[in-house]
């Protein structure tokens, strides 16, 4: 049988893009966290899939609000990724002091200088063991620039072309 620890160690070798998922709470505060379990789902209609641990408050707030943003973090925003991953001591709304945030077209927080951002409406939520799998229909896109930040083997880094 495969252990959870062994599975996590093996998965750490899979490089993933770094994103900050954000929404608004019942009392109109901003909340968010760093996630690497984000993927495109379909181009028609444009949709994303985001996996969020049930033990976080973000999943229930996304379900309640029905909207969320996916902010692609670049090398220049590494501190944003660290803050929302809980690596800097910032908690709750304090995390939004790191980086330049604005309200998007749907009122959801969007990182102004992200390498790209998607504002989504919740289409479906599936509960799977320890996580919520959130399907989001993309309602607005912010195109950015710059190399994306990746997470692999427990650390942040950037992609570089491999010379052949």
CA distance linking residue 32 with residue 23, whole number of Å: 6
| pLDDT score of 69 | 97
- Residue 143 near residue 110 (C-beta atoms within 8 A): no
Residue 122: beta bridge partners? 136
Class of domain 17-152: mainly beta
DSSP 8-state class, residue 44: T
Other Cβ atoms closer than 10 A to 1: 3
Residue 164 has what pLDDT?
62
Average pLDDT per block of 10 residues along the chain, 164 residues long: 84 84 93 94 96 89 94 93 93 94 94 95 94 96 87 79 68
Domain boundaries, the chain: 17-152
- Look at residue 97 and give its three-state secondary structure: helix
Q: Which pLDDT belongs to residue 150?
A: 83
């Amino acid at each position: 049988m495969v252990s959870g620890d062994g599975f996590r160690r093996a998965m750490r070798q899979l490089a993933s893009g770094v994103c900050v998922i954000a929404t608004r709470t019942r009392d109109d505060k901003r909340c968010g966290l760093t996630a690497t379990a984000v993927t495109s789902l379909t181009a028609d209609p444009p949709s994303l899939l985001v996996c969020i641990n049930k033990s976080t408050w973000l999943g229930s707030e996304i379900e309640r609000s029905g909207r969320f943003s996916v902010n692609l973090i670049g090398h220049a925003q590494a501190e944003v990724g660290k803050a929302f991953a809980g690596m800097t001591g910032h908690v709750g709304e304090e995390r939004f002091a790191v980086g330049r945030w604005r309200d998007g077209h749907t009122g959801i927080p969007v990182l102004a200088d992200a390498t790209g951002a998607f504002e989504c409406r919740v289409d479906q939520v599936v509960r799977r063991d320890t996580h919520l799998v959130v399907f989001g229909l993309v309602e607005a896109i912010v195109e950015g620039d710059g190399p994306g930040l990746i997470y692999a083997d427990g650390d942040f880094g950037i992609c570089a072309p491999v010379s052949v």
